[in-house]
Chain A
Amino acid sequence: MQNTISNVIKLTRSFLSINNVTSHPMKNIINSSLFSTSTINLKDKEISHWMKYNDIIFPPQGPTEKRRPAYVCNELKNVKFSPKKMWYICSFIRGLSVEEALKQLQCIKSKGALVLIDFLKETIDLGVNEHNVEFRSNLWVSESFCNKGITAKGLRRGAKKKITKIRYRYCNCYLKLEEGQPPVDYYCREAENTGPAMLDKWLKQIRSRKINNSL
């Protein structure tokens, strides 16, 4: 009798240790591996991890320090569009100034582009109204990505009474706009491809060679 009780206590303890609340609120859910992280539905009052970047308050700067550029983070949840298709358009905007991005998005024949145009305009308004961005056009897209949202599932009848699922995919779009001029090379490709940089890289490789079983 006692053995069974102790076993039950052990099981409950182990179960409790899995569901222990750790420092990061998301860790608990990730470790229990009940469902993928992108499909977590937050309650009404909870703020998502991405939007919490908007709540960070920086200490006041002295008069001699360089003026810190403002940034805005914004998200658009559960847009009826496939995340795989959205990826192309999100990554297209990266590193462009906001005006340039809007101009280019107007020419793309895709539903995701239409969604992103409205989304970009909303984030610009957010920045100007709440985050003390002075000039609307003095922003550039520093981060733009998407992940999967909800997938609604439907049915489709196949041959020989076979039933298959149809997935109606939704995606979440995330944007971060920063104040100032966009950088010349967002992916730092030119820095890698200069002569001196390539020479350094080759030298590093050559010097890291090892002759096995040597002194």
Chain B
Amino acid sequence: MILSTLTTKSILLKYIKFEYIFSTNDSIRNYYKFRKGFTANKHWNPKWKKFRALKVVKIDLPDFTKKNYDDNLSAEEMRFYYKEKGIQPVPPWNEKQFSVTTLSGVLDQYIPPEGDGKLSPLNTEGAQQKLEWLKKKTRSWKDLRTIRKYEEDFELYPEFVEKVQEIYIKSQELLTMENKEKLIDYVTEKAYPLMLYNLDKKTIHWKFIKSLEPPRVCHIRVGEVFTKQNLFAQITVRFHTKQILAIYDRFGRLMYGSETIAKDALEYIVFEKHISSVYGEWRLHHKIIPDWLPEIQPGSVTYIDTESETETSPEMKDADVDTIKTVPM
């Protein structure tokens, strides 16, 4: 027996405590309660119990697990906490100055024609598409004229298109370097959270190899905010490029893409500028992803798809879902 070998009192008591905590059998627990050093904290005469209780000064113990000042608390709950503490609730004095630096969406979103990257102008379908493009371009030409009012010598080809490609490459490179402060110079406030989404603590290796076709302007729109003088210009540009992308997670394991295999990327990217402001710059605003593009290569991690729960077979439903097999690393 282990008990016989233990000699010192402290070790004995610790063993008793261990047995008390971990034994599921209630009789064992009751047995250990009456041993020396671990008895119930109960006086034999309950006559003076109330007076003994009066000796203790009661305290409101702080509870750190509850969050009293959560943002998600309703108004009633907040009122309850204020009442408890005896504080008069003060209405928040939030007068923040804000400035409109981007538009929240894309003006008259460009719908890229199907089969864009695959069809050539030599096919009948390709020729039809080109005709359709020319028909819908009247408004774009109008808005180009408004841009030329604010920006003299504004030429789409080749200056604007080259500049825009540089912005595109620079913004992606800044993402790899995790330079968030400079990124806002190349990317609008709308696109900034979308670019940084899910990229916390991950290393990205991105390389621009070449552009397969010269970038082409598809769509020009100019919009106003509050007054007719406050104008924002948005230009969609079509890029057909070759890129390498590899994303590694926090532990250096490859999550997505590869370091060696380059991929062709057909993208329709919207660039925006606050033309009526002196400090306006062309910045990446939004990326249009048409439905007909092939699906992205899935990541290397498996996950439980909650949408397709109804599709499970009856065999799977009966099986024990708790006993998931562990995978050896």
Tell me whether B250 and A181 are in contact (CB under 8 A): no
Tell me whether A68 and B253 are in contact (CB under 8 A): yes
Q: List the one stretch of A16-24, A131-139, A207-215 in contact with chain B.
A: A131-139
Question: Within 8 Å CB of A158, what residues of B?
Answer: 55
CB pairs A–B below 8 angstroms (11 shown) = A58-B252, A59-B203, A61-B254, A77-B64, A107-B24, A130-B200, A132-B250, A138-B326, A154-B58, A156-B57, A170-B64
A64 and B88 CA atoms in complex are apart in Å by: 65
> Looking across the interface, which residue of chain B has its beta carbon closest to that of A56?
B250
Closest 3 CB pairs of A and B: A78-B64, A180-B329, A132-B249
Out of A109, A136, A150, A156, name the residue touching B55 (CB < 8 Å): A156
Query: Is B278 located at the chain interface by the 8 A CB criterion?
Result: no
Question: Within 8 Å CB of B249, what residues of A?
Answer: 70, 131-132
Tell me whether B251 and A58 are in contact (CB under 8 A): yes
Tell me whether B252 and A60 are in contact (CB under 8 A): yes
Out of B57, B63, B205, B328, name the residue touching A60 (CB < 8 Å): B205
Query: Is B248 located at the chain interface by the 8 A CB criterion?
Result: yes
Q: Nearest chain A CB to B262's CB is how many angstroms away?
A: 17
Interfacial residues of chain A within 69-98, with CB under 8 A of chain B in the complex: 69-70, 77-80, 85, 88-89, 92, 97
Q: CB-defined interface of A141-167 with B at 8 Å, one 1/0 digit per residue?
A: 000000000101011111000000010
Query: Is A49 located at the chain interface by the 8 A CB criterion?
Result: no
Residue numbers of A with Cβ under 8 A of B are 55-61, 67-70, 77-80, 85, 88-89, 92, 97, 99, 107-110, 130-132, 134-138, 150, 152, 154-158, 166, 168, 170, 179-181
Tell me whether A79 and B252 are in contact (CB under 8 A): no
Residue numbers of B with Cβ under 8 A of A are 17-18, 21-22, 24, 29, 55-59, 61-65, 200-203, 205, 246, 248-255, 301-302, 322, 324, 326-329
Question: Within 8 Å CB of B64, what residues of A?
Answer: 77-79, 150, 170
A179 and B18 CA atoms in complex are apart in Å by: 29
Tell me whether B24 and A61 are in contact (CB under 8 A): no
A61 and B253 CA atoms in complex are apart in Å by: 6
Out of A55, A132, A156, A157, name the residue touching B251 (CB < 8 Å): A132
Tell me whether A109 and B24 are in contact (CB under 8 A): yes
Known A-B contacts A60-B203, A60-B252, A131-B250; the reply to A92 vs B56 at CB < 8 A is no
